[in-house]
Structure 1
């Protein structure tokens, strides 16, 4: 069943255009203020002095434009003050006008310097955004709208400001018989967990189509994570030895990267010719099966430990099989969603919210959940959050 174009739009269309003031008109406001203050001050009685108000012009410009415009307006304001002094004081030699000029010059210099620092900070933020967006495109590739008989939609919310990616991850891959999907959550959040997320995503993309059975793929991913954590542990041990005192090796605290890091994940296999989904849950929150008759958590009877802790597994990975027919939807999410708290420390009621919107298209459903989740936490998450909706389409 082909997807209509509007199904791919993650936001409902809003034909109303928001009003935005003309930036050029705003930047002309300080110039108008200079003219008005200068004229009114010249025409006012000798006992009224409005010249000091001219400093408002560069201060206002600093909030509307860059350092160059602020500098230009500051120069014009000083010139206007000099004109006022020349007309009202019959020259610039009086102590009053000289004091006003010196004070305005000092404040203007401070305003321009602060605007220069702000411009530099904005350029740095722009570079951070550019690097973050490039990392997102390379690391967390967008899921396709359609892959095989499945319709996909996803949303990602990073906890760290200015970051586009963090410790949550998802990826899809085609196999000769179906589609495989990985959703995971690295211990930690933000950019500090980006390396582990990159490792797991790379391992999944390289091996998803090579292992015929899901347990083999899970074992491979666990081995990749364990190997990486072992390398990190060895590096940490070497740093402790090198950084110790001259009397001997630094005392080992008993903790290392391998004991502190792991990745919860859920692996799903959607056969093209079937009406089921197979999954292996490695310490991850259970996906939600969305149907017209209700919402069912796909809780695994034999959950596996998180990736990186494979030595804790009692044996071979167990595959769980659940019905997944055309029209069914599956919501896979990370714990950053269900552990998000509001101002009263109440967790986000995901199942309750999904029940109200599960009839919406997957992209619209995720848009509503994203907006509602951010409203629940007051606009800022404490942990990365990711959600993926999978819908099995009817045969064309």
Structure 2
């Protein structure tokens, strides 16, 4: 048994040294491998001592044999203590517990001194009774050294995960070994100490291999749990009302504050309160009492801070906001803008361990922790510590997880507000589009003509407009298109129609005569005054005003080339005078359009087509325009058809042309409104 015990050292070392070699390559282990190596060296020293005793057949009664036997037994508790420290050294140092640990370590030196003194007494006191008594004292001191580890490592249980079992077993089997051995190694004593070797090996194996595997498994489980929490958070936020969103975020804050409190055992060093600032426009502000957890104060340095009740403190917190723009400026900043500036600049937490005077009387630490979604700042957490100015690694890990969940919650909250705004805008646009269509003339009736008119709206409110006003001895038609899309374009189109009706109704009332170009100029002045000068819009529009009298159309303005199918020649004629001969509407009150006046006569079977650019500028999947030539071709081919059939054929063919282009791109809509008036002389 003694030989097996002697050989066990080298088998165990062959098993543990690879674990040390693996540990020393891992940066996350810090200086732990050094202390593990030291424990392995002590273990090897014990093995050498046992080898010297057993292999060299030293006289058991000799001083060398007694010394080596006692030394082997004395080194076991030291071995266990150093191995245990190798497990916890990194946590002790990172959590600023080294000073406390060192103070606890002082008693170990006194115990070791007592053990050394006892060994000397055993060696130099020949009396067997005295020697037996000293062996009992020696065993007691060894047991004490083992047992003292319970106190040495039993502090900050949230950080130090001390396992008492190996030490209890170590005490039992080492004491049995001492009692069986006395001052020499006996078979029973060797068996007891062999068990101590096995316990040591199992302890190191568990920590440096098995626990690491368990840790990886725990990390995996924690990751899955985090993913489940995030999925639940996403589902809850998506289904929640605005008020419920606040409750969900508050629950997240409370849950993580509880984790921060449970992470440490000393109540004096914990975070006990926090508040959440969210970004709105370019400001950080606490929006609700739900975002204030625990005892928080406004970030101001005033004497009355301590005397504020909770309601007053919360009111001041909500009223206080911080500009992100000022926080990112280069100017000298005061508290707390300086901390917010550093937080945004560094994109990391800022810990203020020397708060301003009146805050310092309440808190030792104020922490500013940013919440980002990639590069977008969503908000910040402000946390308070009353009894410590240090942030422990475990706390920082929890705060990182909290920031991740808040990032998800705030991103979804912002996305929902954006979607609600889009939905509201979409509804408003639908209303505007309905108004745009409803103000168009329902029927255009002029004696001697068949007329069809239509507007095919795009995905947005556009600026297309056409109109008809019939008088006793003449009729007026108008068609136009405002630049761009959206409500401003639709509004300008309505102003155009109002100005047109106002001008013509005034002429009718006064029984006055104005040319089409004069009406065009009046409309232009109205648009300049209202749309440009009052509304401040930079929109402009193209347009043509047409006056029909006895089969002759007089036109003015600048819009698009009109098309006339001549039944006699069976050809399509371009009216180029309808384009580029007058200034666009709404740009200048000094513009005149008299030079754009022109005439067009229609005879039986002739067809006049007025249209907007949505018709000729529709694109296919090769980005090719439908174009004027296609319109002319269709007009010529359908000349014998009714005006409704001509209109439908134009719409159908342009829709087929753009099916894989604009229509697909804009989800079933054209890129621009398509308006047209088809006029056929009977």
2:481 aligns with one of 160, 180, 185 = 185
Q: Give the secondary-structure state (helix, strand or coil) at the position aligned to 1:203.
A: helix
Deviation at 1:289, TM superposition (A): 0.5
Does the alignment pair 1:220 with 2:522? yes
| Contact 1:300–1:320 (8 Å) recurs in 2 | yes
Q: Give the secondary-structure state (helix, strand or coil) at the position aligned to 1:210.
A: helix
Q: Which has the higher contact order (CA 8 A, sep 6+)?
A: 1
Residue number in structure 2 paired with 1:299 = 576
For residues 187 and 358 of structure 1, what CA distance do their matches in structure 2 show? 32
Residue number in structure 2 paired with 1:350 = 631
Which structure shows the higher helix fraction?
A: 2
Residue number in structure 2 paired with 1:265 = 543
| Contact 2:463–2:484 (8 Å) recurs in 1 | yes
Q: Give the secondary-structure state (helix, strand or coil) at the position aligned to 2:634.
A: helix
Q: Give the secondary-structure state (helix, strand or coil) at the position aligned to 1:372.
A: helix
1:369 aligns with one of 643, 650, 657 = 650
For residues 359 and 330 of structure 1, what CA distance do their matches in structure 2 show? 14
Deviation per CA, 1:242-264, whole angstroms, max 9, x where unpaired?
xxxxxxxxxxxxxxx3xx42110
Residue number in structure 1 paired with 2:564 = 289
Residue number in structure 2 paired with 1:331 = 609
Deviation per CA, 1:299-352, whole angstroms, max 9, x where unpaired?
118711111234574663542012212332110011111112111121113222
Deviation per CA, 1:54-87, whole angstroms, max 9, x where unpaired?
xxxxxxxxxxxxxxxxxxxxxxxxxxxxxxxxxx
Does the alignment pair 1:149 with 2:438? no
Q: Give the secondary-structure state (helix, strand or coil) at the position aligned to 2:576.
A: coil
Deviation per CA, 1:233-285, whole angstroms, max 9, x where unpaired?
xx65xxxxxxxxxxxxxxxxxxxx3xx421100111110xx232111132x11
Mark the CA change 1:191 to 1:330 in structure 2 (over 3 Å): closer, same or farther.
same
For residues 154 and 376 of structure 1, what CA distance do their matches in structure 2 show? 21
2:440 aligns with one of 129, 137, 140 = 140
Mark the CA change 1:357 to 1:145 in structure 2 (over 3 Å): closer, same or farther.
same
| Contact 1:190–1:384 (8 Å) recurs in 2 | no
Q: Give the secondary-structure state (helix, strand or coil) at the position aligned to 2:577.
A: coil
Residue number in structure 2 paired with 1:390 = 679
Deviation at 1:137, TM superposition (A): 5.0
For residues 448 and 486 of structure 2, what CA distance do their matches in structure 1 show? 33
For residues 634 and 585 of structure 2, what CA distance do their matches in structure 1 show? 30
For residues 125 and 310 of structure 1, what CA distance do their matches in structure 2 show? 31
**Mind listing any 5+ residue stretches in structure 2 that lack a counterpart?**
1-230, 240-415, 508-512, 664-668
| Contact 1:336–1:383 (8 Å) recurs in 2 | yes
For residues 285 and 133 of structure 1, what CA distance do their matches in structure 2 show? 23
Q: Which moved more, 1:287-296 or 1:297-306?
A: 297-306
- Root-mean-square deviation (CA, aligned residues, Å) is 3.3
Q: Give the secondary-structure state (helix, strand or coil) at the position aligned to 1:277.
A: strand
Matches for 1:1-396 after TM superposition, within 5 Å: 131-132=431-432, 134-136=434-436, 138-142=438-442, 144-160=443-459, 166-211=462-507, 212=513, 213-232=515-534, 236=536, 257=537, 260-271=538-549, 274-282=550-558, 284-292=559-567, 293-300=570-577, 303-310=581-588, 313=591, 316-348=594-626, 349-378=630-659, 379=663, 380-393=669-682
Q: TM-score, normalised by structure 1?
A: 0.56
Deviation at 1:209, TM superposition (A): 4.2
Deviation per CA, 1:102-143, whole angstroms, max 9, x where unpaired?
xxxx99xx8xx98xx9xx99x98996687356414543232x
Mark the CA change 1:325 to 1:166 in structure 2 (over 3 Å): closer, same or farther.
same
**Mind listing any 5+ residue stretches in structure 1 that lack a counterpart?**
1-105, 237-256
Q: Give the secondary-structure state (helix, strand or coil) at the position aligned to 1:326.
A: coil
| Contact 1:155–1:388 (8 Å) recurs in 2 | yes
For residues 343 and 328 of structure 1, what CA distance do their matches in structure 2 show? 34
| Contact 2:524–2:589 (8 Å) recurs in 1 | no
Deviation at 1:195, TM superposition (A): 0.4
Q: TM-score, normalised by structure 2?
A: 0.34
Give the number of the structure whose alpha-carbon radius of gyration is greater: 2
Mark the CA change 1:366 to 1:225 in structure 2 (over 3 Å): closer, same or farther.
same
For residues 530 and 427 of structure 2, what CA distance do their matches in structure 1 show? 30
